[in-house]
Amino acid sequence: MRVLGLDPGSVVLGYGLVEDGKQVGLVHSGVIKASARLPVEQRLAILFDGICKVIETYSPDEVAIEEPFAGVNVRSAFMIGRAQALGMLAAARCGLPIAYYSPTAVKRQVSGYGMGDKEQVRAMVCLELNTRDLPPENDATDALAVALCHLHQLRANKLLARTKR
């Protein structure tokens, strides 16, 4: 099972691919960037093309997308929602199943604490993927955390299904 995790942003969009085999492994991660100086529609086109290229190159089985966190800045959440829609469209276009996770759920699944900071999440992602070689951008690490969260959820669902038999 190969999962593509997306951390949506309207200027920088993080992506991370993990694969579940005997162990969970890092496939690839990075960011797709669009200049903040471009009109929003051009930025979104660049980000969409980038997501499509990642899907085409790495052939994920499923996509997991972090939901926007509204917090105080509603305008920012609205822009992130647009970027989230790009991931949804790219995955749907390829017939890939999509799962959505709140930032708190991702942190809880990956670090055991829903209010963990970026450094705590990064440390746990490195530990679980048995690597120290992650891109420096938090967006890529966050995307890997989203993908790992989805794998954890898939495993939990399988265990629950076994107990119901």
Instruction: Yes or no: say if 147 and 20 are a contact pair by the CB < 8 Å rule.
Output: no
112 dihedral zone (left: phi>0; alpha: psi -120 to 50; beta): left
Instruction: Kindly name the residue from 7, 19, 62, 142 that is annotated as catalytic.
Output: 7
- Per the annotation, the verdict on 41 as an active-site residue is no
49 is catalytic: no
Question: Would you call 133 a catalytic residue per the annotation?
Answer: no
Residue in 19, 20, 66, 142 annotated catalytic: 66
Alpha-carbon distance of 122 to 117, in angstroms, equals 9
Given 62, 67, 139, 142, which residue is catalytic? 139
Distance of alpha carbon 77 from the chain centroid:
16
67: DSSP letter: P
List residues with catalytic annotation: 7, 66, 139
